[in-house]
Structure 1
Amino acid sequence: MNKSQPVERRAGAVSNGLPFTGRASRAAARHPWRTFGLWVALLALAYLAAGTMSLTASPGTAGTESTRASDLINERLRQETPPEEYVVVESQTATADATGFGEFVDELVAELRGVETVRSVTSYRDGGEGLVSGDGHTVLIPVTLTGDMAEAVDAAGPVVEVVNAANGADGFRVTTVGFGSVEGEMSTLLEETLQQGELIGIGVALVILVVVFGAAVAAGLPVVLALLSIFVAAGATALVSNAMEMSNFVVFIITMIGLAVGIDYSLFIVQRFREERALGHEKVEAIATAGATASRTVFFSGMAVAIALAGMLIMPDATFRSFAVGAMLAVAATVLASLTLLPAVLGLVGDRINWLSIPFAGRRGRPGPAGRGAWDAVVRGVVARPAISAVVTGVLLVGAATPLLGMNLGSVGISSLPDDSESRHAFDVINREFSEGVLTADIVIDAPRIDDPAVTEAITKLTASLEGDGFFGEPGLERNEAGDLALLTVAMPGDFSSAESRAALERLRGEYVPDAFDGVDGDVYVGGPTAETVDSVATQRHYLPLVFTFVLGCSFLLLLVVFRSIVVPLKAVVMNLLSVGAAYGLLVLVFQEGIGASVLGFREAPVIESWLPLFLFAILFGLSMDYHVFLLSRIKEHYDETRDNAASVAHGLRSTASIITGAAMIMVAVFAGMASGDLVVFQQVGFGLAVAVILDATIIRMVLVPASMELLGDWNWYFPGWLEWLPKVNIEGSRKQVPAAGQAAPGALPGAVAEPAASGR
């Protein structure tokens, strides 16, 4: 280095030329109020945009038979399908023919008919048939609402209020079930889960951050930035929701991913800034160095996560696409905040980041002589027997993944509601006391002339098959005015995701329809809740290889360019697949098999939510890449300097151990908080993510990574000459330090930070 350079440049920690992340961080630090102004404007825009959010309760899967059936009904039979509610009135003592029972029902029906959103009410007192149970103690009151299915939740709200007011009066139990009431209850539970998950996740994260940083101000900063990033991502998602169909679960995904990734990314950058200040570097240059190193790593990690999430965009399912868009926007907002807002805050507060220090926190783990730390002991034990370590951990992970072979995909449906749910109670009573149930299979016949004798004969034959099946209820037939479309609706009792319902659908599609319409000029499509679930699962299985290939291939290419090694990205892909597979297996073991479910406070379910495996794969692969990028970047940095593989592995683990462990614990806390709610689907999501992060941060990073790197030695960094044309990307930057006497060595544990220099506030 030219000795005529200013000392500030030499101690500024970055060699000739800052990368763009370093330049962005330096600019934000030098002009914090300008950066704050831009972020205030961004937050204001996000607030305005949030009011335009348009979400769908059950977005369909494009191109499936059930979707085609639904489209034909909406386009050519009904302009709108009115939602329905099924009110159940029960008495332990009285029967429907008793005077008091009849008067109670009449009064309830009158109140329901007075509701503005009610179109019609049917009662056994008005001559309705099949509305009284066999023992007479239960009656059913079908209620047809105004509007269409998109307005079902709002329309059902006043009905639910009337039902709740009548429930318990005069000894009668009154409950209701329908699309609107169920979706409304799920939305309420979702909000409660989000609030509870945020409280648990943020609370535990703050405790961990205090332990890592040893200062309350430093601990609170990552949480605040994560929350701001979530707000911006939600606003951006709201804008997108006006251009494409979005699932109402996307808010849950944004919150969960935003908290986990947002806190982690800020954690790495703040810690790096404090290290640079402890080495005596001037404030702005310390921020620039953190930007050129930790922020640069965050940027590439964000790219890895985004690539994994982008795989869900391949799916023709609006649920996956909305999850991908929401999660990618959450990651993008987090990276943007890490590169701009965080450096601005650090530039403004300077060393006040260490205010409100906590005694005995953040100072433990001060390094002693090289090779005597706890992580060095772990590495020494693993590298002493690398083959045994690799085989044992590999067998454990494969064993944990084995149960996934028995994974049953479906939709948990109404059974996902808590046991004390009023809607679930009404649903169970109807299925038990009334053979028709509340769910149907919708058989759409699209023919040039529905009144053609061949078509009429086919419909008659199909109706006879359904009536003789024993599972289906009584069919009902509708025709459109044009005479070219008919809808044969048949009740399917029980939960739409049950094995019995799936088997009945298979008989309907595979036997009854082909047999009845063989040689008939027309097309037949079977829709309804069961058909939609089955079609969704089939679509996912069809696209799964393509999504896996895209995510694995793109991740491999990114790591190939970043680390300039063929072996490192191959191992990262294999190890991440092992952790994802083990998470799948444990998910099946706990929820399907029920092993440990009650101990963990979860509810057993007969199926794993159909969208969950692909969603978990994309999220987990992206988050797993995070740790590999952070760890391997430090190993690669040291290897380039020393060409000593074993020492580089030890250095990488030692220099990232406490910070990555803290980051993993924060992610686990966030995911566990989201799994603490009452909805089974979110219990499955939170548990699957938390387990995978634990496996990745312990077995993978502590044992399998060092063991495999020791076994392969310098082959870890094999890079054939014919690939030299690829661009060279130094993910950690290139730092040249001039530490003063008595300062911490560059390889010191992140948790062992000396007192920062007093200058540069």
Structure 2
Amino acid sequence: MGTRDTRVRGLAARAGGWSARHRWAAVGIWVLFVVLAMGLGSAAGRVDVKESDQLKGETHTAAKIIEDAGIEEPAGESVLVQARGTELKATDAEFRAAVAEVVTAVRGTGRVSDVTSPYDTKTISRDGRSALVQFDMRGDSDTAGERVEPVLKAVAGVQEGHADTLRIEEIGGASMMKTFDDAFGDDFQKAEYSAVPVALGILLIAFGALVAALLPVALAITAIMATMGLMGVVSHVMPMSDTANSVMLLVGLAVGVDYCLFYLRREREEREAGRDAQTALRVAAATSGRAIIVSGVTVCVAMAGMLFTGLAEFEAMGLASLMVVAVAMVGSVTVLPALLSLLGERVERGRIPFLHKAMRRRAARTGGESRFWSAVLKGVLARPLVSVLVAGGALLAIAAPAVGMKTQNLTLDQEFGDSLPIVQTYNRVNDAFPGGSEPAEVVVHAKDINAPEVRDALADFKARAISSGASRGPVEIKLHDAQNIAYVYVPLVGGSDLDKAGASLDKLRDEVRPATLGKVDGLQAPITGQVAGSKDFNDQLGGAVVPVFAFVVVFAFVLMLLSFRSLTIAVTSILLNLLSVGAAYGILVAVFQHGWGASLVGAEGVGAIVTWLPLFLFVILFGLSMDYHVFVVSRIREARLRGRTTRDAIAHGVVTTAGVVTSAAVIMVAVFAIFGTLSMQSMKQMGVGLAAAVLIDATVIRGVLLPAVMALLGERNWYLPKWLHRLPDLTHDESPEAVLATAPREERPVGV
């Protein structure tokens, strides 16, 4: 092997060696990078995804028209006035008096505008028992939830005077915003904050020493801080979002801790085997460091798959996740060796006596190998075919429910259940006024909105929307003369039943609009709203599934092929990862759609999987599961290069990595499980899906299926057809002896 090849293929070893020799420079550069990234991000500010850029299609067109016109759509609110018995009607004096009180009360707060009486707008239910007083909140709609409390108190005051006969309840964008912020506003933030101490606690148990446990957390946190700054800079090219920030934190903590854990464990293992600190560090750099680079690049490729969705929110999540993985990967192979070199034996400071002693005794007794996994491996390798059939069959059975997966944007009651009074109000409004709480919004833009042909088309559209059966009315029209824009609000038949409401929306788009508004030259009339946004999102996401899946799978396959120079390893890696993702899908469907064991996680009555989750899970899980796979297979290959038989190499690779893989998996499962405890069903589904997949991946896949499949394949594990030999060679001789033999003379221990 020539010098040039060694230099290219030993990137991790060279980076670690330089870092250890120039440790203060390496630490200084990392600190400077983090500080500069944060400073630049703070100076640049973060540009978030605009409403008009969230989706393509009609929803995008409508948002763009409103944005270009400079119209700030206010937060709309409604007060439901509803008879508690069957006798009282909207025409009765008491009912009318209550409506008048509501109108007076909300106007008296000075926080609202355009208050309308149901007797003027005809927003009275068919049975005559319910009516809606409607109005807008003054000021910015994004912050309306902060100003709505006086209005809610005013409505509650009217309710007190009619508690026995009438139900008087407020609902709308502002009141829902406030209710959810009060109930769940800190929910997600608490989960993010609690993830760090949970990870630290598990690392303390894994290492038995405070300093060793703090290193992975410190690396993950600094990587996250740097990425947050970079997100601000990059957002001026590709806008970011709060969701992208949260996903970045989740992924950054997971991979940052994992990478550092892999590196630190290998360095510690080499020292326990009798090597001096410098030698141990170089071996860890060349072996675990290389596994980190291969894994990191593979995870980055998986995250890049989100860029192919065409959905601004997904693109932001993909880019933010890609950046934090790249930063954590670079930090792991550069600054971490410098810190370990600086600390030396002090990395064991802050020992927890009983834990540290127990670990030392176990290491001395087992030679660093896991007794539990040694016992499991003995059975697996004795009967590999039976192990493949049993474990593979079990995972296929778990994945089976995924065949009938139903995805949809969750309705309010699906997302939050009946735990909040406002959800019950939402259901009552939908029962009395189907589609009234989430009407379709037609944004009509014409050269002259008051032209006779436009006025006639609007009137015709209003009439046909009801006569076609798409709506039962009332259809409202709000004009913005100065901007030549009209809003047409159409309550959809189907209400909160998204399938039926979707059919009503199609009728409006495909039948009613072409026959009315579509006949006016130069007029635009995109239809948006909650149901339309959900449909456009689903259509776009559905079109992105195949390209994203193909991109991630093909590029991951190529990376594994180049990194291990084995067609067999590349194929089995992809198949095993797909199996673990499929099992996660099956668990999600079984729990959240079919309700099996739903009460254990507080998910009764959801009945569907949130639309964005399957694709999101695929990308995240395919990336993260490569962490373990690359690490374990690298160790197996290393043992094979040192002269062991394939079967012995499998046993050695799995049992020696079992401890670190288990620790890494426990951290990930614990962090993801925190999100599974949140109140929002979408976050709960994400947490349960991620936790279940990682648990399956680290146990059944890596501990049973991978060794069993490799044992069955034998020497074919290293098969590479001759016609593929021309591919770039990204492997290197991973045996510690070869690493030391190629070390710069000043780094070699005596005798090498």
Map 1:679-758 onto structure 2 (within 5 A). Answer: 679-730=680-731, 733-736=734-737
Map 1:308-707 onto structure 2 (within 5 A). Answer: 308-358=302-352, 359-360=354-355, 361-363=358-360, 364=362, 366-368=364-366, 373-415=371-413, 416-417=415-416, 419-435=418-434, 437-444=436-443, 456=456, 460=460, 463-469=463-469, 471-477=471-477, 488-492=488-492, 498-513=498-513, 525-642=526-643, 644-707=645-708
Counterparts of 1:656 and 1:43, CA distance in 2: 31
Aligned residue for 2:75?
83
Counterparts of 1:204 and 1:188, CA distance in 2: 25
SS of 1:642 mapped into structure 2: coil
Shift of 1:576: 0.8
Counterparts of 1:16 and 1:279, CA distance in 2: 27
Residues 526 and 106 (structure 1), Cα distance of their counterparts in 2 relative to 1, 3 Å cut: closer
Give the letter aligned to residue 620 of structure 2. I
Counterparts of 2:592 and 2:602, CA distance in 1: 11
Contact 1:19 1:733 (8 Å CA) reproduced: no
Aligned residue for 1:145?
137
Contact 2:494 2:504 (8 Å CA) reproduced: no
Aligned residue for 1:105?
102
Counterparts of 2:485 and 2:32, CA distance in 1: 53
Counterparts of 2:594 and 2:582, CA distance in 1: 17
Shift of 1:705: 0.9
1:299 aligned to 288, 293, 296, which one?
293
Counterparts of 2:650 and 2:274, CA distance in 1: 27
- Provide Cα deviations, 1:77-115, integer angstroms capped at 9, x if missing partner: x633233233457897999837995786366324432x3
Counterparts of 1:98 and 1:617, CA distance in 2: 54
Shift of 1:408: 1.9
Q: Which moved more, 1:519-528 or 1:79-88?
A: 519-528
Counterparts of 1:399 and 1:515, CA distance in 2: 51
Counterparts of 1:403 and 1:738, CA distance in 2: 48
SS of 1:677 mapped into structure 2: coil
SS of 1:245 mapped into structure 2: coil
Residues 190 and 519 (structure 1), Cα distance of their counterparts in 2 relative to 1, 3 Å cut: same
Aligned residue for 1:25?
16
Contact 2:251 2:325 (8 Å CA) reproduced: yes
Shift of 1:128: 4.7
Shift of 1:184: 5.5
SS of 1:81 mapped into structure 2: coil
Residues 101 and 523 (structure 1), Cα distance of their counterparts in 2 relative to 1, 3 Å cut: closer
Identity between Structure 1 and Structure 2 (%): 35
Residues 286 and 240 (structure 1), Cα distance of their counterparts in 2 relative to 1, 3 Å cut: same
Aligned residues: 716
SS of 2:186 mapped into structure 1: helix
- Provide Cα deviations, 1:264-284, integer angstroms capped at 9, x if missing partner: 111111112212332344434
Counterparts of 1:189 and 1:562, CA distance in 2: 49
SS of 2:558 mapped into structure 1: helix
Counterparts of 1:47 and 1:462, CA distance in 2: 53
Matching of residue 254 in structure 1 with residue 225 in structure 2 = no
SS of 2:509 mapped into structure 1: helix
Q: Which moved more, 1:686-695 or 1:65-74?
A: 65-74
Contact 1:186 1:417 (8 Å CA) reproduced: no
Counterparts of 1:482 and 1:295, CA distance in 2: 63
Give the letter aligned to residue 547 of structure 1. V
Give the letter aligned to residue 255 of structure 1. L
Counterparts of 1:655 and 1:633, CA distance in 2: 12
Contact 2:251 2:321 (8 Å CA) reproduced: yes
Residues 62 and 736 (structure 1), Cα distance of their counterparts in 2 relative to 1, 3 Å cut: same
Shift of 1:35: 4.1
Contact 2:370 2:659 (8 Å CA) reproduced: no
Counterparts of 1:59 and 1:280, CA distance in 2: 62
- Provide Cα deviations, 1:334-390, integer angstroms capped at 9, x if missing partner: 223323333333233221221232314434354548999432332231222222221
**What's the C-alpha RMSD, in Å, of the aligned pairs?**
3.7
Shift of 1:516: 5.8
Shift of 1:587: 0.8
Normalised to the residue count of structure 2, the TM-score between the two structures is 0.85
Contact 1:175 1:425 (8 Å CA) reproduced: no
Aligned residue for 2:744?
none
- Provide Cα deviations, 1:149-199, integer angstroms capped at 9, x if missing partner: xx4231331113542586478476876433344455556666523343245
- Provide Cα deviations, 1:445-481, integer angstroms capped at 9, x if missing partner: 6778886869956972673253451644222346776
Map 1:178-193 onto structure 2 (within 5 A). Answer: 178-183=172-177, 186=180, 192-193=186-187
Contact 1:160 1:176 (8 Å CA) reproduced: no
Give the letter aligned to residue 70 of structure 1. A
Contact 1:300 1:731 (8 Å CA) reproduced: no
Aligned residue for 2:65?
72
SS of 2:213 mapped into structure 1: helix
Residues 166 and 45 (structure 1), Cα distance of their counterparts in 2 relative to 1, 3 Å cut: farther
Contact 1:462 1:516 (8 Å CA) reproduced: no
Contact 2:209 2:349 (8 Å CA) reproduced: yes
SS of 2:74 mapped into structure 1: coil
Counterparts of 2:154 and 2:288, CA distance in 1: 58
Residues 436 and 371 (structure 1), Cα distance of their counterparts in 2 relative to 1, 3 Å cut: closer
Counterparts of 2:460 and 2:97, CA distance in 1: 44
SS of 1:443 mapped into structure 2: strand
Counterparts of 1:496 and 1:71, CA distance in 2: 27
Contact 2:302 2:622 (8 Å CA) reproduced: yes
Counterparts of 2:80 and 2:484, CA distance in 1: 37
Aligned residue for 2:148?
159
Contact 1:230 1:259 (8 Å CA) reproduced: yes
SS of 1:249 mapped into structure 2: helix
Counterparts of 1:604 and 1:526, CA distance in 2: 31
Matching of residue 217 in structure 1 with residue 184 in structure 2 = no
- Provide Cα deviations, 1:555-595, integer angstroms capped at 9, x if missing partner: 00000001001111111111111111111121111111111
Contact 1:196 1:677 (8 Å CA) reproduced: no
Residues 54 and 448 (structure 1), Cα distance of their counterparts in 2 relative to 1, 3 Å cut: closer
Contact 1:418 1:678 (8 Å CA) reproduced: no
Give the letter aligned to residue 440 of structure 1. P
- Provide Cα deviations, 1:403-454, integer angstroms capped at 9, x if missing partner: 2222222211433235333543442332234456222213356778886869
Q: Which moved more, 1:641-650 or 1:40-49?
A: 40-49
Shift of 1:131: 5.9
Counterparts of 1:724 and 1:433, CA distance in 2: 70
Q: Which moved more, 1:563-572 or 1:585-594?
A: 585-594
Counterparts of 1:386 and 1:666, CA distance in 2: 29
Give the letter aligned to residue 243 of structure 1. V
Contact 2:585 2:689 (8 Å CA) reproduced: yes
Residues 306 and 436 (structure 1), Cα distance of their counterparts in 2 relative to 1, 3 Å cut: closer
